[in-house]
Amino acid sequence: VNQLPTYIETQIAKQSSPGTKPNSLPWVKILTSLPVWAIIITHGASVFGYFTIVNQLPTYMKYLLHYNIKANGFLSSLPYLGKYLMALFAGIVADRLLNSEKISKTNTRKIFTAIGVFTPGILMIIQVYFGNNHVWSVLIFTAALTLNGAVTGGYLGNGLDIAPNFSGTIFGMANTLSSFGGYLSSYIVGRLTNNNQTFEQWRIVFWILAGTYMVGASMFLIFGTAKTLPWNSTTKKEGANGFSINESETLKPLKIEQSS
């Protein structure tokens, strides 16, 4: 008899949830979902920009502006410190906005994605015209990485919005594809600037960065949503006892062993 409370609690938690996770991955629906690809492309653009700035900025500062940023520990740490603080701040503000219900979840995700991905693209355009000064360059790149931290309130949590049952799969895809960003960053910069360290060549790099950031952000602004997609869960119907029951699942009788 003492098994009964545990059984009831388990069944209520199981049957009253808004949908049941499908038995298999809906690969076709995932791969043909625009909101999913909005996350993947935006994440790829964000990671590409991050790798390019972090890996190539010291080279640019050293050979173009003759300024060794690595020799200044404080300046070297500014972009990372700014990104960390912004990530915390954006997460807190986004949660408060969502709890206040003054702005929809979709708009909240898009606002923070615009701040974190689109704005750095604008800053890269500014870098095209003011990047021949080491003070401006440090300020611009620090601001770009700092603002990029706002993605914690944007697309970064969007997988849990659209498909909580498959958010791990979605971000596994996003992280796998975006991992090529580090290679592409080094390859592109190397092809453009190897034995040709001129500001004109680096301006091309900055234009590529600007375009990548802005296209990636635009994908999410156009196709992103925070609504749970239908394929996240199976259909349920109302049982006679008032519980929401999966069509292929019914409550099994509890077997209680009689003590002798």
Query: In terms of pLDDT, which residue wins out, 57 or 156?
Result: 156
**Residue 33 pLDDT level (bands cut at 50, 70, 90):** very high
What pLDDT score does 242 carry?
A: 47
Q: How far apart are alpha carbons 50 and 155 in whole angstroms? A: 16
For residue 171, what pLDDT band results from cuts at 50, 70 and 90? very high
| Per-residue b or e along 108-143, where b marks 16 or more CB atoms closer than 10 Å to that residue's CB | bbbbbbbbbbbbbbebbbbbbeebeebeebbbbbbb
Domains of the chain plus CATH, in order, are 33-244 (1.20.1250.20)
Largest Cα–Cα separation, the chain: 90
Position 245 pLDDT exceeds 60: no
Q: 236: which strand partners?
A: 246
Percentage of the chain modeled with pLDDT above 70: 81
Query: For residue range 51-94, what is the model confidence (pLDDT) as tens digits?
Result: 999 888 888 888 888 877 666 667 778 888 999 999 999 999 99
Q: Tell me the average pLDDT of the chain.
A: 84
pLDDT digits (tens, 9 = 90+) for 9-31: 454 444 434 567 778 889 999 99
